[in-house]
C-alpha cells in the first residue's frame, strides 16, 4: 500500500508516458516535481497545474543544470518519496553503422548519463532518510533486442544493469527498480513502428494501470526488473 500523499520527482514530463503519469499522479492527489526539455510543454503544465506542483525546463543530460535544479527542488519540497527516471530518446531506425555518431552520443547522454545525473542529484537525500523508491524506465528492448534500434537497446540494457547495481548500494527500506512500461502508442513508438503503433493503447489509458503499479512498488521490489504488463 502506498502513502496517501507522495512527493514524486519525474523526468521527461512534457509528452508521452511522462505527461500521462504526471496527469495521473496529480489527479490522485500527489505532488509532482518534474522536468522536460519542451518550454511550451512545461508552460502548459504550469497553467494547468499550479503549486504545489513544480515544473522546470531541463535537459537531464546537462549535469550542472540538473544539480542546480535538484538543489532548488529539495530546498522547496524536501526529500522525494518516489524518483522516476522516464526521460529518454529513440534513434531513427537504421543499422548501427548508419547511425550518426552525434545522434548515438546524444541518446547515450540522455538515456544513461541523464539517469545517473538525476540519481546523483536526488538520491543522497533519500539515502540519508533511508526511504524512497527509484524507478528507472527500461524497455522490452532492455531485455531483448531488435534490428535498427541498437543504440536504444544498448541504453536500456545499461539501465537494467545500472539499476541492479544501485539496488545493492541502497540501505534497507529503499528500492531501485527497472521498469518495462510495455508497448504504448507514443511519439517514440510512432518513430520506430509508424502506423503499427496505432494498434497499441495510448499513454493516458496506460497510465491508469501503470500509475497504481508504480505507486505500489516498495522495498521488497529492490533490484527487481518488473513490467507493467498488458493493458
Complete DSSP assignment for 44-78: HHHHHS-TT-EEEE--TT-HHHHHHHHHHHHHHH-
Give the DSSP H or E segment for 136.
strand 132-137
Nearest-angstrom CA–CA distance, 7 and 30: 6
Identify the residue whose cell numbers are 508521452: 16
- Does 152 participate in catalysis according to the annotation? yes
Q: What angle do CA 120, 73, 70 make, to 5 degrees?
A: 20
- Residue 121 phi, psi (nearest 5): -80, -35
Out of 24, 137, 141, 152, which one is annotated catalytic?
Answer: 152
> What are the cell numbers at 52?
504545489
Residues labelled catalytic: 152
Amino acid at each position: 500500500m502506498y502513502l496517501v500523499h507522495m512527493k514524486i520527482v519525474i523526468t521527461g514530463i512534457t509528452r508521452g508516458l511522462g505527461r500521462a503519469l504526471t496527469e495521473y499522479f496529480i489527479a490522485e492527489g500527489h505532488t509532482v516535481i518534474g522536468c522536460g526539455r519542451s518550454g511550451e510543454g512545461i508552460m502548459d503544465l504550469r497553467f494547468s497545474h499550479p503549486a504545489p506542483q513544480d515544473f522546470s525546463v531541463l535537459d537531464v543530460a546537462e549535469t550542472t543544470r540538473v544539480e542546480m535544479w535538484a538543489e532548488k527542488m529539495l530546498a522547496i519540497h524536501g526529500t522525494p518519496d518516489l524518483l522516476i527516471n522516464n526521460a529518454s530518446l529513440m534513434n531513427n531506425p537504421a543499422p548501427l553503422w548508419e547511425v550518426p555518431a552525434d545522434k548515438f552520443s546524444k541518446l547515450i547522454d540522455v538515456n544513461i548519463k541523464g539517469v545517473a545525473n538525476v540519481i546523483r542529484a536526488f538520491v543522497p537525500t533519500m539515502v540519508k532518510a533511508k526511504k524512497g523508491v527509484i524507478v528507472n524506465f527500461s524497455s522490452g528492448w532492455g531485455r531483448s533486442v531488435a534490428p535498427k534500434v541498437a543504440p536504444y537497446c544498448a541504453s536500456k540494457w545499461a539501465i537494467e544493469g545500472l539499476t541492479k547495481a544501485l539496488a545493492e548500494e541502497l540501505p534497507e527500506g529503499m528500492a531501485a527498480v527497472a521498469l518495462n512500461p510495455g508497448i504504448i502508442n507514443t511519439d517514440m513508438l510512432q518513430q520506430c513502428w509508424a502506423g503499427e503503433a496505432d494498434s497499441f493503447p495510448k499513454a493516458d489509458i496506460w497510465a491508469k494501470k501503470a500509475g497504481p503499479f508504480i505507486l505500489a512498488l516498495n522495498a521488497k521490489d529492490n533490484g527487481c526488473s518488473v513490467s507493467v504488463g498488458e493493458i
